[in-house]
């Protein structure tokens, strides 16, 4: 069943949302508690609240879980520390457009409201997530930062401010992007050098004039370096993560390369179930995907000087592995993130500090799940087009456990 709802994507006013089955969902008897009124009830009105499941994070991963839990008629709540759904996209840099065309940016039950070849802006993606919540009446509580997850008498206790949420199931959908990662030697840099992490970068005018070093040559680093090369002399330091050998946005890329890359390579071929996927996984987790929009020659044409990795600091300036010292006035750290999940007070992290999980099921903690991690199951797990499969599987597990509580996981 399809229904058009009022568009909220600002520069796509003429597109209507193709809501595939929200009406069917409501008709299936999803309980009242999933309505907005429940979501908007002041949390402090009841300092302890019980649910079948608590979902932490209202990005694409948490909302996808919510969609499937709602379809199964479960009582759940989605908590998010941001003020508005979509803010994790809104807070990214101003000029950011998705590398995935609209055709691959829909979520379960709703297509992205734009022509399939259109590359949405980050704000359009944010508005799409907000429209998704409204349309499926998902019970999101914004401004609810989870401070602690513990387990007491076989139930999880999720503390967010003054409120304790108690549930047999918790899904951590907080992504792998919470805490900026910057090398220790950054502290030795001359204080006159402006340092900023990619997560805080918005636009070129924030930065000092003069030479500028972008550290980290993955997708974010390459895109930010290419933008800054219009206003600054830019060096881009780091290992090249590989790139697609086709022009992004071309018909060849749209019709042949991207569908194969997203649907076949990232979604099926590179997974924990295939030898090639298991081999590629550590690199994907540490270094991200190959460059999707830009090729080295695009960077060269933009005037970006590609250099080796930064090895340390000498006399207050960054020094490269080849011994060169760069005289720069700004450094943009595109060096990635730590998961920032230390509020989970449970023994669920492996030796490298990562959540120990298989296909979203956290090891050793029955009822605890995760969604949207980088390469959680496949290379597509952390991307918009890949999150639905993992989310549905986790929601199925939760529903099965509720039907048969003796089930271990």
Ligand X SMILES: Cc1cc2nc3c(=O)[nH]c(=O)nc-3n(C[C@H](O)[C@H](O)[C@H](O)COP(=O)(O)OP(=O)(O)OC[C@H]3O[C@@H](n4cnc5c(N)ncnc54)[C@H](O)[C@@H]3O)c2cc1C
Enumerate binding residues for ligand X (CB under 6 A). 56-62, 79-82, 88, 92, 96, 98-100, 145-146, 173-175, 177-178, 220, 343, 372, 382-385
Neighbouring CB atoms inside 10 A of 114's CB total 22
- Indicate the residue among 199 and 330 with the shorter CB distance to ligand X: 199
Buried b (16+ CB within 10 A) or exposed e, 154-188: eebbbbbeebbbebbbbbbbbbbbbebebeeebee
Q: How far is the CB of 1 from ligand X (least distance, A)?
A: 26
Q: Cβ 80 to ligand X, closest distance in Å?
A: 5
Q: Which is nearer to ligand X, 174 or 313 (CB)?
A: 174
The least distance separating ligand X from the CB of residue 107, rounded to whole angstroms, comes to: 10
Between CA 16 and CA 147 the distance in angstroms is: 38
Token couple for 269: 């071929």
Which token pair is 280?
A: 């590629």
Question: CB of 97: closest distance to ligand X in angstroms?
Answer: 8
In the complex, least distance from residue 386 CB atom to ligand X, rounded to whole angstroms: 7
Q: Could you tell me the smallest distance in angstroms from the CB atom of residue 337 to ligand X?
A: 8
Nearer to ligand X, 139 or 372 (CB): 372
Q: Helix 387-403 and helix 60-71: axis angle, to 10°?
A: 40
Nearer to ligand X, 85 or 193 (CB): 85
**231: part of which helix (H) or strand (E)?**
none
313 vs 374, which CB is nearer to ligand X? Answer: 374
CA distance 293 to 100: 9
Specify the residue, 200 or 325, whose C-beta has the smaller distance to ligand X: 200
Centre a 10 Å sphere on the Cβ of residue 247 and count the other Cβ atoms it contains.
13
Nearer to ligand X, 331 or 383 (CB): 383
Q: Which residues contact 255 (CB under 8 A, 6 or more apart)?
A: none
Short-list 142, 55, 147, 145, CA closest to 342: 147
Instruction: From 214, 46, 26, select the one nearest 109 (Cα to Cα).
Output: 26
Smallest distance, ligand X to C-beta of residue 267, A: 11
């Amino acid at each position: 069943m399809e229904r058009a709802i009022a568009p909220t994507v600002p520069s796509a006013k003429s597109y209507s949302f193709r809501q595939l089955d929200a009406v069917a969902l409501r008709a299936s008897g999803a309980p009242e508690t999933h309505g907005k009124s429940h979501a908007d009830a002041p949390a402090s009105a009841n300092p302890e609240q019980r649910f079948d499941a608590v979902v932490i994070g209202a990005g694409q991963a948490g909302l996808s879980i919510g969609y499937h839990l709602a379809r199964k008629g479960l009582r759940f709540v989605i908590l998010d520390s941001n003020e508005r759904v979509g803010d994790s996209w809104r807070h990214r840099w101003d000029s950011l457009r998705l590398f995935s065309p609209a055709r691959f940016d829909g979520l379960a039950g709703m297509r992205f409201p734009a022509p399939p070849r259109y590359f949405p802006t980050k704000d359009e993606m944010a508005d799409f997530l907000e429209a998704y919540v409204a349309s499926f009446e998902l019970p999101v509580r914004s401004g609810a930062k989870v401070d602690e997850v513990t387990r007491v008498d076989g139930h999880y206790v999720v503390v967010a401010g003054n409120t304790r949420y108690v549930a047999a199931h918790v899904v951590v959908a907080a992504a792998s992007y919470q805490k900026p990662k910057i090398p220790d030697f950054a502290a030795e840099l001359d204080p006159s050098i402006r340092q900023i992490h990619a997560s805080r970068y918005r636009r070129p005018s924030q930065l000092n004039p003069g030479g500028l070093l972008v550290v980290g040559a993955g997708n974010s680093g390459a895109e930010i370096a290419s933008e800054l090369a219009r206003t600054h002399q830019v060096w881009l330091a780091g290992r090249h993560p590989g790139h697609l050998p086709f022009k992004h946005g071309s018909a060849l890329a749209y019709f042949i390369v991207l569908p194969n890359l997203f649907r076949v390579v990232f979604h099926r071929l590179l997974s924990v179930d295939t030898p090639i996927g298991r081999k590629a996984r550590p690199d994907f987790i540490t270094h991200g995907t190959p460059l999707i929009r830009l090729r080295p020659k695009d960077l060269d044409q933009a005037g970006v000087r590609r250099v080796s990795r930064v090895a340390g600091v000498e006399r207050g300036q960054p020094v490269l592995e080849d011994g060169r010292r760069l005289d720069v006035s700004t450094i943009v750290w595109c060096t990635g993130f730590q998961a920032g999940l230390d509020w989970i007070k449970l023994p669920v992290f492996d030796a490298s500090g990562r959540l120990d999980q298989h296909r979203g099921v956290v090891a050793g903690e029955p009822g605890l799940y995760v969604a949207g991690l980088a390469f959680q199951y496949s290379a597509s797990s952390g991307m918009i087009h890949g999150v639905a499969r993992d989310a549905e599987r986790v929601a199925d597990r939760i529903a099965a456990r509720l039907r048969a509580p003796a089930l271990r996981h």
